[in-house]
Chain A
């Protein structure tokens, strides 16, 4: 009986097994092949494949930029005098956004630069407006960026005016939720939020957004809503900083899936009591 069944259905069974095995392989490699395929297929569609030149829209911007340059140079000098290492600002790779997340709950983008351009897992990503996320997967020509607006992303942040420390977590919109470490806050709407010096991924002082509202009563800690500077849903180009990649263990697939644990990836949170 089994023999008859096999005679009748062997080709279909084998085919299903092959499809299942391929799907499993894709899952274990985090779809690296599909990402590369997507890159190849969409290549001819990317006509304007040059990063937009810095646009100096008006005189005020120009003035502020010049002052910023001045201050940066001064800061650099002071750092050198203090014996601190100069900030590694060079080596940014401009990357076009080529794709987005394949579901409605997570916030990723695919960018058209990868391992060939020196991008590594853990490289921070910025765009006009400030921090936008970091790299969680790299294939030869593409990389996946976990956006700062993803609920699983959390980035160390600080309110510039009051120096209040905290971290920002995404809400899958263009607003972040900032949680603070202290209870009595002097933070008010309009305050600027930047990356903090305790962030392991980002250099301190990179702009993130502006406080929209503060909730002192939130439990267990006070929170604030932070509106992102970068138009995160409409970005077409991003800057990746491969030189600043943080070493990451057991990451989202190094291409061969060897590092990743069977059901997804290691937990980032080490609960503290």
Chain B
């Protein structure tokens, strides 16, 4: 769960160019929410995303991630908890490095970059190939090519992958983080996660014993069954993984042609669905804003003016969205609808 409290940001304060980008904004996102944000240029959408990711510091306010304030962490310290995809395809990848090197950089997010480990090890190759294959763009055969040689759409797809593949934390890391991110009930949380861990470990151990004893199975069946048992253990522990990245998409398809944009959006939707990621997506396309996600937010002059979710959102159409838009921002109706229409 991510909670924004009283966020304010003014650019160039005290000068003629003073501009209040975010005006005392409050927002609560539940686990697994997929929010689309629309609003005219200068409404503060990108600023909001940059404040969450840490590339801009807010003047006031808190950003609570599962109850822990992250607003004072610098951008790179916050990176493990957020996956940021920018509008500009050039911004999300290191163009002089190969596809696999980029993915490896992303996978090490939140971990100390060691001088004693190779950035890419041989056994990771299969993992990256599989991940690239899931994009369905044929990129798995271009693992060792420089990212600079890829098209904008391909790069955005890779950036999307990079934003969502941070390495699975170890069980001990999960337990530690779970306690850290439940500061209000620290002891209780610790007890809970430790209890579940030991219970599951016991279940797994017993299952392995059973499988090994079972003479009816041949060795390949045995190893298969053991893998399954471990997967169950793993899945159960992943439920306590509070640091799953929140995906921040800043008009990530705006610079692409319509066909590629649709493809990238489709990939986005699939990744979000499969990993149950909490997601914020800025878009200028009203159709997309309606089609994707379970919640829609409209921003105007640094404030949230419309916030619809669930059934209500499903019934939205472009025309009543436009109506909402004009009633929400009464002064510059014409320019806004001209931009958005």
Q: Report whether chain A binds chain B.
A: no
